[in-house]
Structure 1
Amino acid sequence: MAIQQLEPESNVASEAPSYAFGDAEFQILDDTPINPVDSYELPAPVEGFAKPGEIDADILEMVSKLTLKEKIGQMTQIEIGKLMDKDGFLDLKQVEYWVDEWKVGSFLDSPGNHGGKYQVYSPERFTEVVDSIQKVALEHGPKIPMIYGLDSVHGANYVNGAVLFPQPTSTAATFNPKHAYESSRIAAKDTRAVGIPWIFCPCLDLNVEKIWARNYENFGEDPYLTSEMAVASVKGLQGNYKKDRNRVAACMKHWIAYGKPNSGKDRGSAWIPDNFLLEYFVPPFQAATDAGVASAMESFSDINGQPVPTSEFYVETLLREHVGFKGLIVTDWGDIWRLYQDHQTAKGEYDATWQTIKNTSLDMSMVPDNGNFSEALLHLVETGRIDESKIDAAAARVLQLKKDVGLFEQPYADKSLHTTVGSKQDVALAIDAARESVTLLVNKDNALPLKKEQKVVVVGPAGNSISFQNGGWSLRWQGSLGNEEYYGGRGITIVDGIEQVTGTRPEYVRGPDIDGKWTQEDRDQVVAAVKDAEKVIVALGENTYAEFGGNIDDLTTSEGQLELVRLIKKSSNADIITVLVQVRPRLLKDIPELSSAILNAYLPGSWGGLAIAEIIFGEVNPSGRLPFTYPKHGSQSSVTYWQGVYNYFNINGGEESYYSPEFPFGYGFGYSEITYSDIELSSNTLELDGSSIEVSVKVKNDGSYPAKEPVLLYTTQSIRPGYAPDAYRLRAFEKVDLAVGEEKTVKFELSRKDIEYYQRDLKKHADEGVNFTITINAYQKDARKARFVTGGAYEFTR
């Protein structure tokens, strides 16, 4: 069929009446009081964890009674900005237009991002918007409840007053999945409080390209760590989402390999061999699917030249068949449009829609701002180019999700949840997560912890900012960009935290701004402040950003912030305690040499300043570990710890000659001396018939601080016939609590699944008669090793 035959004479759909929103300066702060209860008790969670499956009979019957246009409407998602008037208020006539004319079944995003009157919406005002749209949906068009979707990345980050937890990479640094579960559970509750039952999370891309702007939304560079956090997140968000109305439907994203752009820029092309894709990038999505995730969002990417949205291989063969995903698939923002505007793989909107629906089982298009998808799909079905059965299947999955989250029972918000939003109970969980995430990377001569009576000065743009502790996807899409008033004082900065811990508010001088710009007056203030200080805490970071708003060309820390550390060293004899308030690992240059201690605080959320202060002054023993490789040079931006053995061992046996980052994956330590026994194995042979071997090690706290110790187990295959083995692969981890002087035995199981790998035939293989090394805590001074061999005989014999 010739492509030109797909386009009718007019390829422009009729548009809804449009308004110019004007400059965003008209937006104001929501003045609704935020007065949450201190604590609350929700109904007991419904037992079990639900997952998508077959379509119910009543949903199939409902689909059979809908017109073609109504079914296509269920596949259509429109952004909230199309429903706002020129003054930033919800325009019910606009809602009626989209529901009556296009039968739209889904809406998304925060009004604060799209011309709404308020920068951030309180639970009450957000509920009013969502419930008003829902009322129109129930009274107009097909009279089917609409489903609203929202990005709640680290808590309900678009709901004013909701507790903002550490960002996902920070959560990964805890090496404790309970924090992924709890932050997701609270995000679900607070998002559901405003009538929204669908969250576009968790993000399961790997942080393999360190300059990429979206690293902080994900769980690090390791497939196993990400998989464990994925399962915890899905269970926290969903629980038994088909029965529990405090939970939401989760959406794993972005399928797939979105986090490895060749250019390092957001939405860039990726080149990844299929066996690598299966080995490293698919496992987190497989884990989330096995945990019952209800929906999936495909990525902006093209992989090996093929855009994901229109790819039969990536969507049907890989996601539906290989992974076994049965839930709803939604595009990302405008992805069908991008097929002809960006990827240039389609002639226009009609062709792009035709390719996508013909090749895949896509269920919903995040259009997001016109009727062209609906018009195109209607034309394609009516002219016989798309079989209506594909529309029936997609509409059924959409309606099934609506039924599963309870919209047919109770389509409106549960306003009784409003008073729980922002409670002290939730704040305590966020602070606990931050405490376990902060990672101690350098501590020369036991510079930390500090003594409370010492004269401390805090310097640096991130030292007194809730905004920079949160990053993007915080109140607004790009974050608050340093606008502290958006938070209404709900949070604890590093300066605030030190005051709480010591009883004395430290002197604070900003120095350069967050982008590294400063004046001579700023420099003079820094010199005067640090001259007589005993200790200087330097808080460095990045401005807030999301997606392509965070694209950069150089991973180096801004010159102004590097100059700040050098100026302090030149102007004072004080120990410099550098605190990195960032996830993207900006190159540190000479900061490690100039600093007595370095803490990576990542993006610890609104309340993270208290956790940082507690660690600096020894009230909390740091227990975070790096969930990614921290590069030392720009050339290491895409280096991961698991890349081939040749990256670690040269031909003369020199260890780690190529993998030489600033700090390796899994690195970090605390204030206590933790000792490890030798590793014990239940057998020195791992049979490949389904048997397993037990790995055990004794871990003892010989220090003077209670400790939370992450125990990380890696394997390394000595010989992999025809394929380069991983240098190390994380296979298991456990975080153990150790009182002073306490010893515990940590046990792991290893079986065939832990040593299998994908070959070019895209099948898993396990090699017989091959030696493996088990390493507990690779790269740490307390690393322990043991060896085993797989059963059977190695094929080659001399």
Structure 2
Amino acid sequence: MYASALRRSTLFVAIAFFTLASAGLPLLNPVFAAPTTSEGNDVAASRVVEGLLKKMTLEEKIGQMSQVALNQPQTISPEEQARQGVGSFLFITDPARINHLQHVAVEQSRLHIPLIFGFDVIHGFRTIYPVPLALAASWDPKVAEHAQHMAAREARAAGVNWTFAPMVDIARDARWGRIMEGAGEDPYLGARMAEAQIHGFQGETLGGPDSLLACVKHFAGYGAAVGGRDYEESNISDEQLWNVYLPPFEAAVDAGSGTLMTAYMDLNGVPAAGNNWLLHDVLRDKWHFNGFVVSDWDAVKSLTVHGFAADDADAAARAVNAGIDMEMTSHVYRDQLAAAVKDGRVSQATVDEAVRRILTVKYRLGLFSSPYINVEEAPSRMVTQEQRTASRLAAERSAVLLRNENQILPLKTSGTVALIGPLIDSKADIMGSWSLAAHQADSVTVLDGMKRYTASHPALKIVSTVGVEIERGQPSIFDEQFASPKPKFATDDQRQREFAHAIELVKSSDVAVLVLGESQDMSGERASRSTLTLPGKQEQLLEAAVATGKPIVLLLMNGRPLDITWASSHVAAILDDWYPGTDGGNAIANLLFGEAVPGGKLPVSWPRTVGQEPLYYGENLTQIPDAPNTRYWDGSSAPLYPFGFGLSYSTFTLGNLKSSASTMHTTGSITMSCDVTNIGKIAADEVVQIYTHQRAGSASRPVRELKGFKRVTLKAGEHQTVSIKVDAQELAFWSPQTHKRSVEPGVFDLWVGNSSQATTHTTFAVK
């Protein structure tokens, strides 16, 4: 088949020679020409794109501005749409089908413009990695970068060349289902993870064989949806927008993201998909973004649902004039845009600029020079041992140890362990949401991983049962593609006997590990919750297990913080493994038995109850500064576990804080150093974190703001001096008084430690 593809490519060379030569454009070999990012290549891209624009009809331009979802019914065949010059196809992952459609577009369309194939490669393609919130919990941008690089390799091998990730929305409300898809609550950590993922997906430059076009989303403010309800409006002050919600987007743009996706919701009353201020004033004029903007699913058509656009024709005009270059899935551009141009509501120049951006990105991605893939090679690049190893290591580094009384963890390698819970052997759930291209058969469950481990430890015995089962009880958007297993206990009697059986196993074992949390469809899009309790009868199972008096380990599998307040004072050990991915079961076994040591830290403040949400550490003090954690008369307002918190199997000391200077200029920097010592008996990781607070300025500032971190590995007894530079520009903020972002002179507090409650303190001044 690949040889046949090369023969067809030879035919295209002749066609392209005539088409491009007649336009005075450089001749491109579609198979062997390698794109570069040099200035000369930019000139070549401009010549190709401008030449095509001169030859394109209005209808062909609108075709390039349209993306068609092939998981939806089509009135026109995909082949015919490719011939007509559609710009992109969505939700297709079969390499042979992708190659076929690309051949149709390149060889049978009038201008031979290649397609771009999009798919949600959020935390893996065929091999699944920990969900993005878990990757953020590693507090190691290199982990996130490598995970997305490995995902890009698989996706490109299948012919997918565009992902709709990373999601960089700041999320401070655990009720919101898509909190699992981002980096949590903090703009600094979010920005570092955004940069890492862009570099992982795209590589150093677009156009390499493993380079996957990134699409930073959702611009902007989606994570602040009212009540944590998905698709709800967001009402964000200018101060919060500029200082909290926009910085990760700006970091992703600066890192070179080739595309950007708009958000679904109204931002302060104006839909993001029609928001000229966001898409022009901020994105283009202030940040100089030169990629193209795509709407979210049906978001252009939905401008009528918002009550913003009068009808589809009005929606098309408003969206393109605001700055949306490509419409995802709905056909408002295709059906309405030509008329809008002809009657003057949209200028030809606006359409040309949108198409120019799209074609330029396609050129930079290498699609004009290498549009096809090696179909025969694709299967051999999926779920390789290298991919599995990377998935396991990412899961090990993302786990967060929340409690470990009497050092119950790591477990002994002898005796009987009861493995209990509805998630112990679910191949779907261990991968989490957005695992649409994965195969369940590839997954290593917790039970699989424990069995593998016991195979080499004959003194260790595993007994297991689910105890209880859980299901969402409402349709999920993933039900058709990748639903969690349905409960198998049909009657109350069966459920009661299973519950009793689980407790008997706990009683007869030396220690019990309860794997509890959420099924994968309980987090993600359309997966907001009004409570954070353990779904179903899991809490009752946990309490009954603890009542036996046996040592209990709670192993969480989840995409958001859950209400584990009772467990935090009654369960001996709590390990959060999030949704760890394809090789998650092996990672969990390694963590439980000490082959790997947890070193992750929380990227979110963990609530005691849902009534605390939204909850975050960087609040402003407004009154009674000596009692910030007693805002409720009926309970503490402090988090159960603070942002940045995470234990280890070892113990560390941090001290001897030093600064390279006591003052710095508004354009300078200082370097903070502290001594970190592993006083435990095993090698382990610690994350050194720096927080600052500006004492006075033109506006109130948060009590603490993360401004630097570094994860280090130390052997038992090892000492290391860790240095972290704090740039003055990181201290800048947008002031509602001055309406600009600047570094304001003044005195700053600085803390160094291993969570947002760090106590080692000093001060410095900015002049």
Structure 2, unaligned runs of 5 or more: 1-31, 473-486, 632-636
Structure 1, unaligned runs of 5 or more: 1-42, 86-92, 111-120, 157-161, 480-485, 792-798
State the partner residue of 1:351: 314
Correspondent of 2:109 among 131, 140, 146: 140
| Secondary structure at 1:625 match in 2 | coil
Change in CA separation of 1:777 and 1:513 when aligned onto 2, cut-off 3 Å: same
Query: 1:422 & 1:334 partners in 2: Cα distance?
Result: 33
Spell out, residue by residue over 1:270-318, the C-alpha distance to the aligned partner (whole angstroms, 9 max, x if none). Answer: 0001221111111111111111111101110111111011111111111
State the partner residue of 1:672: 650
| Secondary structure at 1:775 match in 2 | strand
Residue 189 (1) aligns with residue 153 (2): yes
CA shift, 1:641, in A, is 1.1
- The residue type paired with residue 662 of structure 2 is N
State the partner residue of 2:327: 365
State the partner residue of 2:443: 491
- The residue type paired with residue 726 of structure 1 is P
Contact 2:202 2:212 in 1 (8 A): yes
Correspondent of 2:417 among 456, 473, 478: 456
Residue 399 (1) aligns with residue 359 (2): yes
Q: Percent of pairs identical after alignment? A: 29
State the partner residue of 1:94: 77
Trace 1:527-546 onto structure 2 (pairs within 5 A): 527-545=503-521
Contact 2:688 2:752 in 1 (8 A): no
Correspondent of 2:98 among 130, 134, 139: 130
State the partner residue of 1:232: 196
Equivalent pairs, count? 701
State the partner residue of 1:71: 61
Change in CA separation of 1:48 and 1:560 when aligned onto 2, cut-off 3 Å: farther
Query: 1:408 & 1:83 partners in 2: Cα distance?
Result: 29
State the partner residue of 1:467: 428
Correspondent of 2:163 among 174, 199, 206: 199
Query: 1:363 & 1:100 partners in 2: Cα distance?
Result: 21
Contact 1:642 1:727 in 2 (8 A): yes
State the partner residue of 1:90: none
Q: Aligned Cα RMSD in Å?
A: 2.4
Trace 1:213-228 onto structure 2 (pairs within 5 A): 213-228=177-192
Contact 1:47 1:240 in 2 (8 A): no
Query: 2:131 & 2:35 partners in 1: Cα distance?
Result: 27
Change in CA separation of 1:46 and 1:681 when aligned onto 2, cut-off 3 Å: farther
Contact 1:565 1:594 in 2 (8 A): no
Spell out, residue by residue over 1:486-529, the C-alpha distance to the aligned partner (whole angstroms, 9 max, x if none). Answer: 512x2322222222333345111101112398721221211221
Residue 151 (1) aligns with residue 151 (2): no
CA shift, 1:185, in A, is 0.8
Residue 739 (1) aligns with residue 739 (2): no
Trace 1:96-111 onto structure 2 (pairs within 5 A): 96-100=79-83, 103-110=85-92
State the partner residue of 2:386: 425
Residue 653 (1) aligns with residue 626 (2): yes
Trace 1:275-286 onto structure 2 (pairs within 5 A): 275-286=239-250
Query: 2:233 & 2:406 partners in 1: Cα distance?
Result: 46
**More deviation in 383-392 or 460-469?**
460-469
- The residue type paired with residue 667 of structure 1 is F
Correspondent of 1:766 among 743, 746, 761: 743
Correspondent of 1:249 among 199, 204, 213: 213
Change in CA separation of 1:700 and 1:583 when aligned onto 2, cut-off 3 Å: same
State the partner residue of 1:382: 342
**More deviation in 549-558 or 175-184?**
549-558
Spell out, residue by residue over 1:322-363, the C-alpha distance to the aligned partner (whole angstroms, 9 max, x if none). Answer: 22211010000000111112x1111110011111122x2221
Change in CA separation of 1:575 and 1:733 when aligned onto 2, cut-off 3 Å: same
Change in CA separation of 1:300 and 1:704 when aligned onto 2, cut-off 3 Å: same
State the partner residue of 1:291: 255
| Secondary structure at 2:685 match in 1 | strand
Spell out, residue by residue over 1:537-570, the C-alpha distance to the aligned partner (whole angstroms, 9 max, x if none). Answer: 1111212226543132222222511111111123
Change in CA separation of 1:47 and 1:710 when aligned onto 2, cut-off 3 Å: farther
Trace 1:245-324 onto structure 2 (pairs within 5 A): 245-324=209-288
CA shift, 1:173, in A, is 0.6
CA shift, 1:657, in A, is 4.0
Query: 1:671 & 1:541 partners in 2: Cα distance?
Result: 23
Query: 1:706 & 1:558 partners in 2: Cα distance?
Result: 36
Contact 1:52 1:326 in 2 (8 A): no
CA shift, 1:724, in A, is 2.3
Residue 776 (1) aligns with residue 764 (2): no
Change in CA separation of 1:582 and 1:395 when aligned onto 2, cut-off 3 Å: same
Change in CA separation of 1:512 and 1:47 when aligned onto 2, cut-off 3 Å: farther
| Secondary structure at 2:304 match in 1 | helix
Contact 2:517 2:535 in 1 (8 A): no
Correspondent of 2:46 among 44, 56, 69: 56
Query: 2:714 & 2:691 partners in 1: Cα distance?
Result: 22
| Secondary structure at 2:415 match in 1 | coil
Spell out, residue by residue over 1:241-284, the C-alpha distance to the aligned partner (whole angstroms, 9 max, x if none). Answer: 44412212111111111111003111110000122111111111
Change in CA separation of 1:47 and 1:630 when aligned onto 2, cut-off 3 Å: farther
Contact 2:219 2:263 in 1 (8 A): yes
Query: 1:302 & 1:387 partners in 2: Cα distance?
Result: 26
- The residue type paired with residue 414 of structure 2 is E
CA shift, 1:409, in A, is 1.3
State the partner residue of 2:24: none
Contact 2:173 2:228 in 1 (8 A): yes
CA shift, 1:143, in A, is 3.1
Contact 2:664 2:765 in 1 (8 A): yes
Contact 1:52 1:293 in 2 (8 A): no
| Secondary structure at 1:259 match in 2 | helix
State the partner residue of 1:787: 763
State the partner residue of 2:533: 556
Correspondent of 1:693 among 670, 675, 694: 670
State the partner residue of 2:470: 514
Contact 2:235 2:268 in 1 (8 A): yes
| Secondary structure at 2:230 match in 1 | coil
Contact 2:202 2:211 in 1 (8 A): yes
Spell out, residue by residue over 1:569-592, the C-alpha distance to the aligned partner (whole angstroms, 9 max, x if none). Answer: 23x221110011002112124122
- The residue type paired with residue 427 of structure 1 is R
Contact 2:300 2:332 in 1 (8 A): no
State the partner residue of 1:609: 585
- The residue type paired with residue 258 of structure 2 is A
State the partner residue of 1:29: none
Provide TM-score, normalisation by structure 2.
Answer: 0.87
State the partner residue of 1:622: 598
- The residue type paired with residue 744 of structure 1 is Q
Correspondent of 1:717 among 694, 701, 704: 694
Provide TM-score, normalisation by structure 1.
Answer: 0.84
